[in-house]
């Protein structure tokens, strides 16, 4: 349902798992970061295909569709569409990886699907004892189906791609590495410790409303035992990531979308199973689906009802869930080298 091409995005690095970019008939460019079967069988895409087929089926004026034959035809249509998209996606991916092709025009993908759908209808007519369609009717149906497929390809590029977790829009999913702050391993001086302790006391009186540059991570030094020991890198799914490079992790169904300083990656894993991310020194899980590194926080805003909103270095904003506000306050202050006040 799209033109396939390899695109050099320039400044923004292309993730290693993103090898193919697609262009819909409306000009929308997006990339598939998973296998074709994972993309096609994801609930977001499945709902779109089923809704599209049901909509077209309800508008079809064929009298046979009001009988059992119609339900049989449209059930087979959905299966044929999904199988063809998976098979053609795998074939295109292999051809692009081997450097045999760089561009695939839309009809190259849609024309075989069009013929398969019409063959499916004719076969159903034959086995159910219905008379075959005349040639003029068949050609008219082919033209109408082609127009409908192009229309749904337009709708897919406009409304499905932006919501699909396995699709990537160029230049919008992550910031370039040059635009992100780097963590500093230098420990604070004694005067800095004193100033930050005074600032922490002032924040306790007026609430947490911090507007400051991204905090520095102190990987060594500072008070004895300030940060727990942890490895330099961890393995998530099939890739290894530097802990200091991870900016944000978002839970998407059974996958984790990992945003680092060099790009994005989608890995099949569970956030709760990654113990190194839950020590509180590098970052914290702020709600049910998002883990944020302290180095990715550009601004912390206190909003009504005691909630906190985070503005990240990539321009996104995330809300800290109420049950996690207290833990975030303490962990964030520790990451900035500020003291945690105690009550007698």
Residue 291 burial (CB < 10 Å; 0-12/13-18/19+)?
A: buried
Look at the pTM and tell me if it is higher than 0.75.
Answer: no
Q: Round to whole Å and give the CA distance between 326 and 312.
A: 19
Domains present along the chain, CATH in parentheses: 3-168 (no CATH), 179-335 (2.40.50.1020)
Residues 53-90 have pLDDT tens digits of 778 777 765 655 556 566 677 777 778 888 888 887 78
> Do residues 307 and 323 lie in contact, with contact meaning Cβ atoms separated by under 8 Å?
no
Place of tokens 């009550």: 343
According to DSSP, residue 146 is labeled: H
> Do residues 218 and 337 lie in contact, with contact meaning Cβ atoms separated by under 8 Å?
yes
Q: Kindly list the distances between the CA atom of residue 50 and the CA atoms of 2, 60, 153, in Å, as whole numbers in the listed order.
A: 19, 15, 14
Residue 317 burial (CB < 10 Å; 0-12/13-18/19+)?
A: exposed
Better pLDDT: 1 or 25? 25
The candidate with the shortest Cα–Cα distance to 138, out of 118, 120, 112, is 118
Q: Which helix (H) or strand (E) holds 32?
A: strand 29-32
3-state percent helix, strand, coil for the chain, nearest multiple of 5: 45, 20, 35
Residues 146-204 have pLDDT tens digits of 888 888 888 888 888 788 877 777 654 433 333 334 444 444 555 554 555 555 555 44
Beta-carbon neighbour count of residue 332 at 10 Å?
24
Q: Residue 228 pLDDT > 80, yes or no?
A: no
> Do residues 311 and 301 lie in contact, with contact meaning Cβ atoms separated by under 8 Å?
yes
> Do residues 104 and 111 lie in contact, with contact meaning Cβ atoms separated by under 8 Å?
no
Helices (H), ranges, the chain: 36-40, 43-59, 68-97, 106-127, 135-155, 190-206, 325-335
118 contact partners, CB below 8 Å, separation of at least 6? 138, 141, 142, 145
315 contact partners, CB below 8 Å, separation of at least 6? 175
* pLDDT (0 to 100) of residue 291: 92
Q: Round to whole Å and give the CA distance between 122 and 309.
A: 58
Most confident of 148-157, 224-233, 333-342: 148-157
Q: Residue 225 pLDDT > 60, yes or no?
A: no
């Amino acid at each position: 349902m799209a033109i396939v091409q390899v695109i050099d995005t320039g400044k923004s690095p292309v993730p290693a798992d993103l090898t193919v970019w697609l262009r819909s008939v409306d000009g929308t460019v997006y990339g598939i970061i998973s296998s074709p079967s994972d993309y096609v069988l994801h609930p977001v895409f499945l709902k779109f295909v089923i809704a599209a087929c049901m909509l077209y089926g309800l508008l079809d004026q064929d009298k046979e569709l009001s009988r059992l034959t119609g339900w049989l035809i449209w059930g087979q249509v959905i299966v044929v569409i999904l199988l063809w998209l998976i098979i053609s996606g795998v074939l295109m991916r292999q051809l692009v990886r081997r450097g045999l092709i760089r561009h695939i025009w839309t009809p190259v993908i849609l024309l075989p699907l069009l013929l398969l759908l019409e063959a499916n209808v004719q076969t159903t007519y034959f086995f159910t004892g219905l008379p075959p369609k005349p040639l003029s009717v068949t050609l008219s149906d082919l033209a109408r189906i082609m127009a409908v497929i192009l229309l749904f390809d337009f709708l897919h590029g406009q409304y499905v791609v932006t919501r699909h977790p396995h699709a990537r829009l160029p230049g919008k999913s992550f910031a370039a590495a040059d635009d992100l702050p780097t963590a500093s391993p230098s420990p604070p001086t004694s005067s800095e410790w004193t100033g930050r302790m005074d600032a922490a006391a002032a924040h306790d009186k007026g609430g947490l409303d911090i507007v400051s540059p991204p905090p520095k991570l102190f990987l060594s030094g500072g008070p004895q035992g300030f940060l727990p020991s942890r490895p330099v890198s961890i393995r998530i799914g099939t890739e290894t990531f530097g802990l200091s490079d991870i900016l944000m992790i978002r839970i998407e169904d059974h996958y984790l979308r990992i945003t680092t300083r060099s790009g994005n990656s989608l890995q099949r894993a569970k956030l709760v199973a990654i113990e190194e991310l839950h020590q509180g020194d590098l970052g914290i899980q702020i709600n049910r689906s998002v883990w944020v590194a302290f180095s990715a926080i550009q601004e912390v805003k206190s909003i009504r009802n005691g909630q906190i909103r985070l503005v990240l270095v990539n321009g996104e904003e995330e809300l800290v869930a109420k049950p996690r506000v207290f833990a975030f306050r303490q962990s964030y202050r520790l990451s900035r080298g500020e003291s945690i006040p105690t009550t007698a």
